[in-house]
Amino acid sequence: MPIRKRTKDDGMAKRMDRLKTLSARLAQFAAERDWDQFHNPKNLAMAVATESAELLEHFQWLTFDQAARLPGAERDAVALECADVLLFLLRLCDKLDIDLASAAERKLVLNAKKYPVHKSRGRATKYDKL
């Protein structure tokens, strides 16, 4: 039997499978606790914003250098806040029947058109000002 060479698509497929698995586990977690009654798109979008603000708190008064070199415990706390954002975002996508990985891939294609390398390399300028 020939050995199939791994491609970039293999890694992407695994990541998409992990998102689907995580989303299913999260749906089960919420169902077991009877939280579906609270998990409507509006509430979930608000939870994403709230958790994003909690993530920002960790960086609020840090210099660029400090933010880039978080100590271990602070980095772990940031990781958990990132997880909160992701989990609420996955739950929102589940409720709206959005395939987040596919939407992200589509958005990357759109961003590549909005931010062509020859115009945007090394610049933080918004696409409409390039």
Asked if 92 contacts 38 with a C-beta cutoff of 8 angstroms, the reply is: no
pLDDT value of residue 90: 97
Q: What is the pTM of this model?
A: 0.84
Average pLDDT, the chain: 92
Could you read off the pLDDT of 8-48 as tens digits, one per residue?
667 777 877 899 999 999 999 999 999 999 999 999 999 99
Domains detected in the chain:
23-101 (1.10.287.1080)
- Start-end of H helices in 33-123: 41-57, 64-68, 72-95, 100-114, 117-120
